[in-house]
Amino acid sequence: MGIKDVINSFEKRVDIITEEWDDIMKLPANTPVEKIERLEEKIDIVQEQNYSIIIDLNNIKRELNIDKTQETVVFCSTKLNDGYNEDELIPIEGTPEADRSLASHHSMDDIVTFLRFDNCEDDDFPTECIPSSPPRWEHNDENDGDNFGLSSGCGSRLQFPNNTRELNENNKRPRSGDTSCAKSFDLNMLDTPSTIFQLYDDFSNNLKYQIMDFERTFGKGQLSKLNKIRTYQRRRALISEIERFSAQCSVDIRVAIGIFEKFRQKRGKSVPWLYNNLAKIIDEIDTEFYRYKKEMV
């Protein structure tokens, strides 16, 4: 992935965020309640934009071979701490310790260990494999996914469980343009997915189709009225980064999900912790994976 690819990725993110911002600006803000709603929606957009900037800046630094140990990164100044609450966003601090590179906290032996599937329990992963997308590579002894600690034997046991559920009764016959009906639209999603595999399956086979139906009926400008829109946005951001990682590193989507899942397991954290601290986690995973590939050259 070169600089041009990084720039194109960033431009696409900006275009999407700009479109969502324009939709919000068209919504009414006459009453105090509506003004508060508009403010919350704008905050969500700004937060998503910040995630995008942080992630793409890290990609640019990596492509330019910037030495992260000699720089001060304003956006990435706090190291992950297992003592933080799972649902808390990591604060930005200005301490010298916080300015150190995240990559220095984990040796390559650590990353290989916590991404290794050899010790997976059978209860953690089902025994059959249902491909979620066309494979991007064929297995061989020099395959990056295998070298990175993802053995083909265990990888073939991975499966996306089918958690797709029927739509809520309130959502089956919405009236077009009815804002009151839009507010009563309930997103049926897994409240507490136990693994990223479950999250990805629920999003790909269930949640995104509900969003598409909602947008066709009420328009994109009404998305902010959904009760669980913030959770959806954060989960969508995580899924987008997993798919980006899969394409950028030329690994199958199942392997990419497995890398994120083993990262989560190694930390002993929940899935919400992963997407609530997305920018930091993406930086760590990307840094370790790129470092490993360079060492293998």
pLDDT of residue 72 exceeding 70, the answer is: no
Q: What is the mean pLDDT of residues 162-173?
A: 46
Query: Which of 1-10, 95-104, 193-202, 211-220 has the weakest average pLDDT?
Result: 95-104
- The mean pLDDT of 10-32, rounded to a whole number, is 77
Spell out the SS3 assignment of the chain.
Answer: CCHHHHHHHHHHHHHHHHHHHHHHHCCCCCCHHHHHHHHHHHHHHHHHHHHHHHHHHHHHHHHCCCCHHHCCCCCCCCCCCCCCCCCCCCCCCCCCHHHCCHHHHCCHHHHHHHCCCCCCCCCCCCCCCCCCCCCCCCCCCCCHHHHCCCCHHHHCCCCCCCCCCCCCHHHCCCCCCCHHHHHCCCCCCCCCCCCHHHHHHHHHHHHHHHHHHHHHHHCHHHHHHCCCHHHHHHHHHHHHHHHHHHHHCCCCHHHHHHHHHHHHHHHCCCHHHHHHCHHHHHHHHHHHHHHHHHHHC
**Residue 94 clears pLDDT 70, i.e. is over it:** no
Check residue 112 and give its pLDDT.
47
Listed ranges 94-108, 166-180, 195-209, 238-252; the one with the highest mean pLDDT: 195-209
Taking residues 288-296, report their average pLDDT: 68
Least confident residue range of 95-99, 109-113, 165-169, 210-214? 95-99
Work out the number of other CB atoms within 10 angstroms of the CB of residue 152: 13
Query: Could you state, in order of their start, the residue ranges of all structural domains in the chain?
Result: 3-296
In this prediction, residues 2-10 reach a mean pLDDT of: 73
Per-residue pLDDT at 195? 93
What phi and psi, each to the nearest 5 degrees, are found at residue 294?
Answer: -65, -35
Contact of 178 with 214, CB cutoff 8 Å? no
> How much is the pLDDT for 196?
92
* pLDDT score of 1: 55
pLDDT more than 70, % of the chain: 53
Q: How confident is the model at residue 178 (pLDDT cuts 50, 70, 90)?
A: low
Under 8 Å between Cβ of 161 and 126: yes
Per-residue pLDDT at 199 exceeds 80: yes
pLDDT at residue 297, rounded to an integer: 56
For residue 103, is pLDDT > 50?
Answer: no
pLDDT value for 213: 85
Q: What is the mean pLDDT of the chain?
A: 66
- 246 has a pLDDT exceeding 50: yes
- CA dihedral of 59, 60, 65, 71, whole degrees rounded to 10: -100
Alpha carbon of 133 to those of 117, 129, 235, 247: distances in Å?
A: 21, 12, 19, 12
